[in-house]
Amino acid sequence: MSNDPIAWLHRELPGWVRDGILDRGQADRLSRRYPEPEGPRSHRLLSVLFAIIGSLLIGGGLLLLIAYNWPSWPRSLRAVLSIVPLAVVQAGGLWVLARRNDRAAWCESLGIAWLLSVGGSIALVAQTYHMPGSFDTFLITWMILSIPILYLMPGVSVFVLYLAGAVGWGFSQRVEHAGTAGAWLLMAAALPLAFRWHREAHSGAYAVISRWALIMASGIAAFGFIDFGHGGVWYNTTILLAASLLHLGWLYESGASSAWRRPALVMGSLFVVPMAFALSVDEVLRNVLRQGWPRDPETDLKVYAVLVSFLYTTSLVLTVRKGWQPGMIWGLLPVILAACWLLGWMEAGIGVLFLIVNAFVLAAGVVTLREGIRTSSLTRVNGGMMVIGAWILMRFFDGEYPILLRAVVFIVLGLLFLAVNLRMARTRKAART
Amino acid sequence: MKRWLWIVWAAVCLTQLAVPAWMIHRRNLTLREGEIYRFRTRPVDPYDAFRGRYVALDFEVAVFSNQAPGSVYQRGQRLYAVLAVDTQGFARIDGLQTTRPHGLPHLPVRVRSHGDPITRLELPFDRYYLEESIAPEAERLYQSRNMQPSSDTHAVVRVRDGFPVLADLVVDGSSVHDLIKK
């Protein structure tokens, strides 16, 4: 018998009917009871991708054909033709909703075509009537009208395009010196779909791609929309956001099999670790602590600061409640920075603050290395080694502190490492005997 | 298919179709019933980044110097320009108001820059779309004729209840479409 019993059954059924073991009706009922799978996973994925590319090409071609602005056609005909593609795609949408069971590929392709035809219709009418170039008005109209498409034809390509549009509108608002709160609301309109995919299969392709898209879109929006006033505020809020991503990753992505399926952990680490390193440089730490809150901050910045603080606190509390582990030490960087703020406010010297941050970076590197060895994770072992190696290299060439002081610190730390190693060896030996 | 899904689909389709349909209806109505104003054009910046498929337009009335004493406007502020016709039959702006003028022909405009005595305005029409193979030629023609002081180059705009629609671009007394055909 084959490894796949359903495929085996479907191969055998015609022979059973031929040999009189089953009649045709019984064979059909068995076929319906155990339907054949749609095809291997790679075939389904390929079918979805081809559907996306095909519909993008056809949709774009049709729009270009109409956008040619046929000079001989009367204005009214061009105007009507501008909305015909939209009506056709809408009818196609109804067909998919009503008839198709194999929706994934259809939702992807028709979703894109639908989204593009909404924007295309508005743009073509604008061209036919020589409307002025107000890009932000066009984009917001397009995106608001496209929100229902996300839920009627749920597909990742539509999801990504929609988020790109929402971020694009935010940028156009920024260029016009207008508020960008609306762009965040637009992005939030896609959140229920991402939650739905996450609930259905949190390591599935749709959930993972939507998480990547949301993280990237929010990051680009945060850095692009908000006037931070100066680098210090940017640094503090970005550390809060990145550390929150780490916590969320530990909460919801720990069981994922690859880095691709852990977007929050990957993006959080990509920001937190280099930022911790940067803070371990005297000059950077001094600047971040000196540049306080801007005197007259924009509303966007105030709302953003409150939101990331809330996100960080909530994610930290949830992580602690679930069971905080030493490997999560990098997520404490905002706490360390807050401690530095507090000590700085209490007029502690910059040397003390510098020591605290450096002790944190070194401790985090050691903990990462230890966790890597404990869990046999080569990525963590390498990561820990890289952190420790980079820290040693940076401090070795750090001209801010006297050579004698650095020499003493290096020797003391080296002795500490050797002592710990010796103690671990003795513990292992004792355990063996 | 579930009944509620039908209703949702229909509502979404109607809303999506209603937006371009309303845009078309409002402009067709203006083109049919709006009053005709002829706006004398002036040369535009030749490095306009979006040239290629349309003729970029600028207008003499966009430079407004007849403002009330003491008036101060912000960049980007929305104003209403009260329209009139000069002795040569071209549109001119009689005044700027912050509220919509009732019973007077007007246009919504935005302040591009404000100074004393000149306020530069952004009119709600700034381009004339053409098919891409003829647009560069039309642009060249428009620019070259526009530089000549005696040239009669203007845009024909229909205005209805303060809503304008650009109807035609006239270069040397002929529609730009006819001129290109020649």
Taking the Cβ of residue A137 and every Cβ of chain B, the question of whether any pair is shorter than 8 Å is answered with no
Give the pLDDT of residue A298.
78
Taking the Cβ of residue A127 and every Cβ of chain B, the question of whether any pair is shorter than 8 Å is answered with yes
Q: What is the pLDDT of residues B54-94, one digit of tens each?
A: 788 889 899 988 777 777 888 888 999 999 999 989 999 99
Give the pLDDT of residue A127.
85
**Among all residues of chain B, which has the CA nearest to that of A91?**
B13
In chain B, what's the furthest Cα-to-Cα distance?
Answer: 69
B182 compared with A393, residue with greater pLDDT = A393
Please tell me chain A's helix, strand, coil percentages from 3-state DSSP, rounded to the nearest 5.
80, 0, 20
Of the pLDDT bands very low, low, confident and very high (cuts 50, 70, 90), residue B49 is very low
H helix runs in A2-134, sequence order: 5-18, 24-33, 41-67, 75-99, 103-128
**Among all residues of chain A, which has the CA nearest to that of B7?**
A94
CB proximity under 8 Å: B 81-110 to A: none
Say if CB B161 and CB B140 are below 8 A apart: no
Say if CB A112 and CB A161 are below 8 A apart: yes
Residues 6+ apart with CB under 8 A from A106: A51, A96, A100, A153
Give the CA angle between residues A354, A360, A364 to the nearest 5°: 150
Site from B6, B9, B15, B23 to mutate, A interface, most A CB atoms within 10 angstroms: B23
User: Which chain A residues have a beta carbon less than 8 Å from that of B21?
Assistant: 83
Q: Look at B125 and A132 and tell me if their CB atoms are within 8 Å.
A: yes
Q: Look at B9 and A133 and tell me if their CB atoms are within 8 Å.
A: no
Q: Look at A122 and B50 and tell me if their CB atoms are within 8 Å.
A: no
Q: Is A176 helix (H, G, I), strand (E, B) or coil?
A: coil
Closest partner CB to B17 (pick from A83, A97, A128): A83
Taking the Cβ of residue A148 and every Cβ of chain B, the question of whether any pair is shorter than 8 Å is answered with yes
Crossing angle of helices A181-188 and A299-323, rounded to 10°:
40
Distance CA A96, CA A211 (A): 26
Give the pLDDT of residue A43.
58
User: Which chain B residues have a beta carbon less than 8 Å from that of A118?
Assistant: 16
User: Which chain B residues have a beta carbon less than 8 Å from that of A176?
Assistant: 76
Q: Look at A130 and B17 and tell me if their CB atoms are within 8 Å.
A: no
**What mean pLDDT value characterizes chain B?**
84
Token duo for residue A206? 């749709």
Where residue B70 falls (left for φ over 0; alpha for ψ -120 to 50; beta otherwise) is: left
Q: Look at B134 and A93 and tell me if their CB atoms are within 8 Å.
A: no
Site from B24, B160, B168 to mutate, A interface, most A CB atoms within 10 angstroms: B24
Of the pLDDT bands very low, low, confident and very high (cuts 50, 70, 90), residue B164 is very high
Give the pLDDT of residue A98.
84
Of the pLDDT bands very low, low, confident and very high (cuts 50, 70, 90), residue B46 is very low
**Among all residues of chain A, which has the CA nearest to that of B124?**
A132
Query: Measuring CA to CA, which residue among A150, A138, A127 is closest to residue B19?
Result: A138
Taking the Cβ of residue B134 and every Cβ of chain A, the question of whether any pair is shorter than 8 Å is answered with yes
User: Which chain B residues have a beta carbon less than 8 Å from that of A79?
Assistant: 24, 28
Taking the Cβ of residue B33 and every Cβ of chain A, the question of whether any pair is shorter than 8 Å is answered with no
A20 compared with B38, residue with greater pLDDT = B38
Parts of chain A with a pLDDT under 70: 1-4, 35-49, 62-63, 65-72, 100-102, 133, 231, 292
User: Which chain B residues have a beta carbon less than 8 Å from that of A111?
Assistant: none
- pLDDT at residue B170 greater than cutoff 80: yes
Q: Look at A68 and B9 and tell me if their CB atoms are within 8 Å.
A: no
**Environment class of A151 (CB within 10 Å of its CB; exposed 0-12, middle 13-18, buried 19+):** middle
Q: Look at B28 and A121 and tell me if their CB atoms are within 8 Å.
A: no
Distance CA A262, CA A252 (A): 9
Taking the Cβ of residue A323 and every Cβ of chain B, the question of whether any pair is shorter than 8 Å is answered with no
Asked whether the bond before B117 is cis by omega within 30 degrees of 0, the reply is yes
What interface predicted TM-score (ipTM) does this complex get?
0.83
Look at the alpha carbons of A159, A163, A169, A173 in this order and tell me if their dihedral is positive or negative: positive
How many Cβ atoms are within 10 Å of A41's Cβ, its own excluded?
10
Residues 6+ apart with CB under 8 A from B101: B80, B82
- pLDDT at residue B137 greater than cutoff 80: no
Residues in chain A: 433
Say if CB A349 and CB A251 are below 8 A apart: no
Say if CB A285 and CB A403 are below 8 A apart: no
Q: Look at A121 and B13 and tell me if their CB atoms are within 8 Å.
A: no
Q: Give, in order, the Cα–Cα distances in Å from A139 to each of A144, A232, A308, A402.
A: 9, 33, 27, 57
Q: What is the pTM of this model?
A: 0.77
Give the pLDDT of residue A333.
94
| Chains A–B, number of C-beta pairs less than 8 Å apart | 87
Taking the Cβ of residue B155 and every Cβ of chain A, the question of whether any pair is shorter than 8 Å is answered with no
Closest CA of chain B from A99, distance in Å: 8
Residues 6+ apart with CB under 8 A from A423: none
Q: Look at B23 and A126 and tell me if their CB atoms are within 8 Å.
A: yes
Say if CB A300 and CB A225 are below 8 A apart: yes
Taking the Cβ of residue A125 and every Cβ of chain B, the question of whether any pair is shorter than 8 Å is answered with yes
Say if CB A132 and CB B56 are below 8 A apart: no
